[in-house]
Chains A and B, each alone.
Chain A
């Protein structure tokens, strides 16, 4: 795989958003949002339900039209959704290879499935998978495209707690290896702290805070700060 040299990677841009406006009729869901994501950078976007975080991700993915501003992003970024969205009528490797050019598609898909630990199930149907396994195939389908921008729309929300921990580890490892710029949309503060280099808080159609996560971190302090930003105060007895 073509991995950019580590030293130069942080300088490369994965995506730029400037003055982005997205409106449904009169209501502005995104109101002049600015955002820069570098390659190799893991950005988490948190906010309460309906604050517009998924809307921002969909705009970046090129799935929705925008009413103002500018987006610079790869034409086809890799996206992982909350549901795995595997095609039930295609075997696992065919799902991973969806939309790839013909020569060597199976080999590339096979290598990607190997990376997520499903290398021995190339020809199985998606119906035979558990929720966590299916999401791993979705991860392989995203990474096989060698994306410079990886968009994650609450991909762990539907998984059980233990599977989620495994997925966190896996995605950390694979992102470190392939170094795409990552935007993770989540409502889970702990997930954001665990995975991200930078945490953005979205409120009222704009980015309210931009916090760098410098490790080692004081997770408890950061957690309390994020929760209070989200309007969930820490309880005191």
Chain B
């Protein structure tokens, strides 16, 4: 495993001397090559957008099927200035946040109990693992019966999506803490509380953050689905409303917003990992890259 990582690191190095010698064409090396590759990685999506615009402008692509990117940008501006875009965005984010806090809190609490106590493990774990096998989106009809199509239904769906990844990764993280370090804590005379605070929880943190990152994605997915069924505000409502009037430009705009917030959530989670796991050998390596 270690050897593999080492080799991968060596072969992907742009300064690899052997490769440069083998190539018949004088190769661009060093930072310049890295810059060019970076530029190239942005050029291809840009070309796609330009092709899309061209197809719309020439009428190959009907505006009812897919509006041109420029049209979407224009719609975004109009919605932001005169429409309800910000209010809807705020509503959606608040739902996601609340659901994340509730689901994450429950998942973390249950995970901690099960991680530390074999008794709680026996009581809870099997039930949670069985519930986990249900694709949580399949519960939506039932949740609508319970809560109607109000705020509670949406927050509940998000909580449900968040709870399981957090639970599983908390249990895993706590159980995987090196028993040798626990033993060291005993030798150093740590009591139960300090053992948990100084050894178990920091040891479980990498796994816990993986859970957070994963659950942010599920939270968002849950929200999209929950909002698309009956809502009077929020990004999903915006899309729903636009569909009624065949406003594909607004629909595409909501899709872009969903994507943008997904990216934002993911990079927030990555940023947290970099900050909190600075001590971790493999995360630190990733951060230096």
Binding site for B on A (CB under 8 A): 61, 63, 75-79, 81, 83, 85, 87-90, 98-99, 125-127, 141, 145
B194 at interface by CB-CB < 8 Å:
yes
Pick the residue among B194, B198, B284 that contacts A127 (CB under 8 A): B284
B76 at interface by CB-CB < 8 Å:
no
Pick the residue among B180, B188, B278 that contacts A98 (CB under 8 A): B188
Closest-by-CB residue of A relative to B195 is: A99
Closest-by-CB residue of A relative to B194 is: A99
B181 at interface by CB-CB < 8 Å:
yes
**Bound complex: CA of A111 vs CA of B188, how far in Å?**
18
**Bound complex: CA of A222 vs CA of B181, how far in Å?**
38
**Bound complex: CA of A78 vs CA of B184, how far in Å?**
10
Q: In the complex, how many angstroms separate the beta carbon of B158 from the nearest chain A beta carbon? A: 31
Q: Are the CB atoms of B202 and A61 closer together than 8 Å?
A: no
22 pairs, CB–CB < 8 Å, chain A vs chain B: A63-B183, A63-B186, A76-B188, A76-B189, A79-B187, A85-B183, A87-B202, A88-B280, A89-B202, A89-B279, A89-B280, A90-B198, A90-B279, A98-B188, A98-B190, A99-B188, A99-B189, A125-B284, A127-B280, A127-B284, A141-B188, A145-B188
What residues of A have a CB within 8 angstroms of the CB of B281 in the complex?
A: 88, 127
Q: Are the CB atoms of A63 and B187 closer together than 8 Å?
A: yes
Q: Are the CB atoms of B205 and A61 closer together than 8 Å?
A: no
Q: In the complex, how many angstroms separate the beta carbon of B156 from the nearest chain A beta carbon? A: 35
B199 at interface by CB-CB < 8 Å:
yes
Closest-by-CB residue of A relative to B285 is: A127
**Bound complex: CA of A167 vs CA of B203, how far in Å?**
29
What residues of A have a CB within 8 angstroms of the CB of B187 in the complex?
A: 61, 63, 76-79
Q: Are the CB atoms of B279 and A127 closer together than 8 Å?
A: yes
Dominant secondary structure of chain A at its interface with chain B = loop
What residues of B have a CB within 8 angstroms of the CB of A127 in the complex?
A: 279-281, 284
What residues of A have a CB within 8 angstroms of the CB of B186 in the complex?
A: 63
Q: Are the CB atoms of B181 and A87 closer together than 8 Å?
A: yes
List 9 A-B pairs, minimum CB-CB distance, nearest first: A99-B188, A89-B202, A76-B189, A85-B184, A127-B281, A89-B279, A125-B279, A79-B187, A99-B189
**Bound complex: CA of A61 vs CA of B189, how far in Å?**
11
Give the B interface residue count (CB, 8 A): 21
What residues of B have a CB within 8 angstroms of the CB of A61 in the complex?
A: 187
What residues of B have a CB within 8 angstroms of the CB of A99 in the complex?
A: 185, 188-190, 194
Q: Are the CB atoms of A87 and B189 closer together than 8 Å?
A: no
User: Known: A99-B190, A127-B281. Contact between A87 and B180, CB under 8 A?
Assistant: no
Q: In the complex, how many angstroms separate the beta carbon of A15 from the nearest chain B beta carbon? A: 15
**Bound complex: CA of A125 vs CA of B282, how far in Å?**
13
Task: Give 16 A-B pairs besides A89-B280, A125-B278, A145-B188 with Cβ atoms closer than 8 angstroms.
Answer: A63-B183, A63-B186, A63-B187, A76-B188, A76-B189, A77-B187, A79-B187, A87-B181, A87-B198, A87-B199, A88-B281, A89-B202, A90-B202, A125-B279, A127-B279, A141-B188
What residues of B have a CB within 8 angstroms of the CB of A145 in the complex?
A: 188
What residues of A have a CB within 8 angstroms of the CB of B199 in the complex?
A: 87
User: Known: A63-B187, A85-B181. Contact between A98 and B279, CB under 8 A?
Assistant: no
What residues of B have a CB within 8 angstroms of the CB of A79 in the complex?
A: 187
**Bound complex: CA of A125 vs CA of B202, how far in Å?**
14
Q: In the complex, how many angstroms separate the beta carbon of A58 from the nearest chain B beta carbon? A: 9
**Bound complex: CA of A78 vs CA of B188, how far in Å?**
8
User: 1/0 per residue B107-133: CB within 8 Å of A?
Assistant: 000000000000000000000000000
**Bound complex: CA of A127 vs CA of B282, how far in Å?**
10
What residues of B have a CB within 8 angstroms of the CB of A89 in the complex?
A: 202-203, 205, 279-280
What residues of A have a CB within 8 angstroms of the CB of B180 in the complex?
A: 81, 83, 85
Closest-by-CB residue of A relative to B186 is: A63
What residues of A have a CB within 8 angstroms of the CB of B183 in the complex?
A: 63, 85
User: Known: A63-B187, A76-B187. Contact between A126 and B279, CB under 8 A?
Assistant: yes
**Bound complex: CA of A76 vs CA of B187, how far in Å?**
6
Among B171-207, those with CB < 8 Å from A are 180-181, 183-190, 194, 198-199, 202-203, 205
What residues of B have a CB within 8 angstroms of the CB of A75 in the complex?
A: 189
